[in-house]
Structure 1
Amino acid sequence: MRLTASLAAVVGLASVVVPLGVAPAYAADNVCLGVDESVAPSQTGRASATYDALGIEQAQEAVARLAPAATTPVRVAVLGPGVLGGAIPVHATVVAGGSADEIEDPLGTEVAGLVAGAARPDGQAVGFAPGAEIVDVRVYRNGTSAEDAERPSADALAAGLRRVAELAGGDNIRVAVVPFAVRKDTALRKAVAAVHRAGVVLVAASGDRPDDGTEFATDFATSADDPKVRTEDAGPKIFPAGYADVVAVNSSGDPDGALANVLKNSRTAVAAPSYNAVSYGLNGATCVVQPTSTAAAAGEVAGVLALLAQRFPRDLGPQLVARLVATADGTPDDPTPLTGAGVVQPYEALARPLAPTEKGEVERTVVRTDAETRATAPEPEADLLASTRENAVWWGLIGGGLIVVTLMLRPVLARRRRT
């Protein structure tokens, strides 16, 4: 499989000779997208950086403590080139494109491992929702192939999404994730709508920065140093992330710089870190996610949504999304093109007492400005006798005036009578 420029650089670093006596910290760190079946299996000893950063252990404990007993596992559909089973619990495989047998591209396996990969032999965690199961929906063969027919297409993705919509009820598919991008397409838009009507939350990558010569290289800068980066917006061009009712996920925490590997996207709903996450490769062993990837971040968010579906099995899709977005560390009222409403907070999403409506609306506390919250005197109560008192005053003045006039005229009148 041909490696992208960013990935090739990362894989190349792994082959640097280390002087005697200075052992690398993690000698078995294979990069997931650089692993195929020919790479000798070796488990990484590294803890998953994103698992720890997002507090997934605490989130899983909350699910174990609070979720009602379930007879059917929550299932997550992973659309891509295929998922290698074994350490990843694959419930079913659906072929809408690509190959029914051989898996050439490791992306689907990397993403599925982040969703539901089993713990390593030494007990270290991998998947965010290991109690979930994967529905492997194959829609292309190889994302880096020179052959157009083997790469992702809107038609094949639409076919895969239609199958997800058909299977959703019977197979308890609550979440689906698309870790790649295609261009806008009418059939794809209709398939996305069908998935939404079926009650499935659709998660999609918001877009990685393209390498030279790849699909979106003419649409966006291939380097973060390009001045075009300042005004770029992947929202109108990256799909299915650009459609309504899709949770577009960006990736945060890139050690190479915020825009080195991801695109700004005005449709971003939330973000998640992805660098040095641990997943599974095509050799069946654990590996690390490098460089930062919106595809991997989308897989992680799909795992968080699977936990939410376990905790709140009666919630509709919009309600699950509302819990995710309302508890992110930013604000839904002021989303950004890099993190949307913020980085997801899984434990908060599971534990905070929210009551989203079936449409996904959440009552939020409104923050008032100092001017709005400054103490003021209370409004006086209505005086029901004010007009009566006013009339009494005037009648009193008139009566008093008449008395004064009478007293002044009395001597005059008295003299007239005497004369």
Structure 2
Amino acid sequence: MHLRSVLAGATAFALVGLTGAPAQAVTVTCAESSPDGGGEAGISSAPFDQLGLERAQQQVDDFAPPAGEPVRVAVLDSGVGAANADSIPVRKTVSYMPPDADVSYFLGTEVAGLIAGADDGSRHVGFAPGTEIVDVRTYVDPTADDKELRPTSGTTARALRWVAQNARDLNIKVATIAFPVSNGPGLRAAVEEAQAKDVVVVAATGDRVAPTDGTEPTAEELRADDAATDSYPAAFPHVVAVNSTGDGYPDDPMSIVRANSRTTVAAPTYHGVSYGLSGSSCAVDPISTGAAAAEVSGVVALLWQMYRHDSAKQIIARLVNTANGTTDDPTPLTGAGVVQPYEALTRPLDPGAKGDVERTVTQADVHPEATAPVPAPDVLAETRDDAVWWGLIGGGLLVVALLLRPVLARRRS
């Protein structure tokens, strides 16, 4: 998560009429939301509209009504704030932090809200209604002086192993890791353990951390940067690594996100709507790969609701092969492209057990124009040609003989 957002202030928009009386709509960012309250998201969710989530959700409602245990998403993060008991459906909470640690950092609540948060009046919030959250607390604050309270690969690995052990009983189908960590011992094995239990692991590709000296990276440094070298578990095989696009963001998105050669897909995040620590709605600002991972986790949860008998690899195949780019030429910023939820739910793909999708290959002249039949070879053609020539020669000699006959007759007389 981009640490500058912790310092971002609430943004107020005031409309002043001719009488001078202001009619205010205050937009509070999720990073600035606190348990003390204050403000809410005075906007509708731009990513929700851009990705056509209302249509996608309706598709699930129409063709995949609830059956059995709800799909559950394990959010391995800073925890869901207590003030959100009515707005974010948390099925179970597990903590790897000290017992007296309070939820004080916004990201875990923001992520859970983007995935499954109830609508806030007229505002859409969660991408996957009906989904429940398993709140797995893996850190308290990434800026804490105490290293034990920061995100670590060891804690993330322990949490992933817990997810793997409880995936079947709790119907955990997705594990979301919105705050990247370094690659420590046991992390990859823990990811593979969760994947072996048919859990789709979704991870943020990593935001750019503001330089402590105030300098900005050069264009050459930005081109050479690759978050895959230090953002885990996004860099591991078969993890859905999610980047954020800059749609709607007024500044250069490269000042926030990083290129990542392991990017799987992307999603817009600017002015998404979630919930903050206050329990009120809040806005995603600036853009965030953590928020993008949450949104894609919501889309994956919708796919699990629609295709309950698929494997994790088949679900990933539906997500990736319906993005608006191409799997043949992924890019470090968007991978196979921006996710397309409705397409992922409705396109008639038939992924194999390993997630392979048969491609349609265009072939030239599959139905060529009709042509006249080729005649069979004439084996008597040469003999017939010879006979014609001998006939012409014989006929010519006969004509000559007839012309010379009177002349020869006068000579004899």
Normalising by the smaller structure, the TM-score range is 0.7 to 0.9
TM-aligned CA deviation for residue 114 of structure 1 = 0.3
Of the three residues 29, 49, 54, the one matched with 2:46 is 49
- Summarize the alignment of residues 276-355 of structure 1 with structure 2, pairs less than 5 Å apart: 276-355=271-350
TM-aligned CA deviation for residue 97 of structure 1 = 3.9
Instruction: Report % sequence identity.
Output: 44
- Summarize the alignment of residues 15-414 of structure 1 with structure 2, pairs less than 5 Å apart: 21=20, 23=22, 26-27=25-26, 29-37=27-35, 39-84=36-81, 85-86=84-85, 87-97=87-97, 99=99, 102-120=102-120, 122-213=121-212, 223=216, 225-252=218-245, 253=247, 254-366=249-361, 386=377, 389=378, 392-393=380-381
Q: What CA distance in whole angstroms lies between the structure 2 residues aligned with 1:222 and 1:112?
A: 33
Backbone CA RMSD of aligned residues: 3.3
Superimposed CA distance per residue, residues 276-327 of structure 1 (whole angstroms, 9 cap, x where no aligned partner) = 1111111111111111000001001001111111111111111111111111
TM-aligned CA deviation for residue 195 of structure 1 = 1.0
Mapped contact 2:10–2:29 kept (Cα < 8 A) = no
Mapped contact 2:12–2:25 kept (Cα < 8 A) = no
Q: What CA distance in whole angstroms lies between the structure 2 residues aligned with 1:15 and 1:124?
A: 18
Q: What CA distance in whole angstroms lies between the structure 2 residues aligned with 1:157 and 1:292?
A: 24
SS state at 2:128 partner = coil
TM-aligned CA deviation for residue 7 of structure 1 = 4.0
Mapped contact 1:224–1:259 kept (Cα < 8 A) = no
Mapped contact 2:10–2:32 kept (Cα < 8 A) = no
Identify if the C-alpha distance between structure 1 residues 52 and 12 changes in structure 2 by more than 3 Å, giving closer, same or farther.
closer
Superimposed CA distance per residue, residues 81-119 of structure 1 (whole angstroms, 9 cap, x where no aligned partner) = 111241111101122345575112111111000000112
Mapped contact 1:250–1:270 kept (Cα < 8 A) = yes
Mapped contact 2:326–2:336 kept (Cα < 8 A) = yes
SS state at 2:264 partner = strand
TM-aligned CA deviation for residue 49 of structure 1 = 1.4
TM-aligned CA deviation for residue 373 of structure 1 = 7.1
Mapped contact 2:205–2:227 kept (Cα < 8 A) = yes
Q: What CA distance in whole angstroms lies between the structure 1 residues aligned with 2:371 and 2:169?
A: 61
Superimposed CA distance per residue, residues 26-51 of structure 1 (whole angstroms, 9 cap, x where no aligned partner) = 22x221122221x3244333211111
Mapped contact 2:4–2:209 kept (Cα < 8 A) = no
Mapped contact 1:99–1:141 kept (Cα < 8 A) = no
Mapped contact 1:81–1:98 kept (Cα < 8 A) = no
Specify the code of the residue in structure 2 equivalent to 1:96: Y
Q: What CA distance in whole angstroms lies between the structure 2 residues aligned with 1:98 and 1:143?
A: 15
Mapped contact 1:98–1:139 kept (Cα < 8 A) = no
Mapped contact 1:7–1:290 kept (Cα < 8 A) = no
Specify the code of the residue in structure 2 equivalent to 1:92: K
Q: What CA distance in whole angstroms lies between the structure 2 residues aligned with 1:100 and 1:298?
A: 29
Identify if the C-alpha distance between structure 1 residues 22 and 98 changes in structure 2 by more than 3 Å, giving closer, same or farther.
farther
Q: What CA distance in whole angstroms lies between the structure 1 residues aligned with 2:156 and 2:244?
A: 22
Identify if the C-alpha distance between structure 1 residues 378 and 293 changes in structure 2 by more than 3 Å, giving closer, same or farther.
same
TM-aligned CA deviation for residue 226 of structure 1 = 4.7
Superimposed CA distance per residue, residues 197-216 of structure 1 (whole angstroms, 9 cap, x where no aligned partner) = 11011100011011224xxx
| Bigger Cα Rg | 2
Specify the code of the residue in structure 1 equivalent to 2:30: C
Q: What CA distance in whole angstroms lies between the structure 2 residues aligned with 1:187 and 1:273?
A: 32
SS state at 1:192 partner = helix
TM-aligned CA deviation for residue 366 of structure 1 = 3.7
TM norm structure 2: 0.84
Identify if the C-alpha distance between structure 1 residues 24 and 69 changes in structure 2 by more than 3 Å, giving closer, same or farther.
same
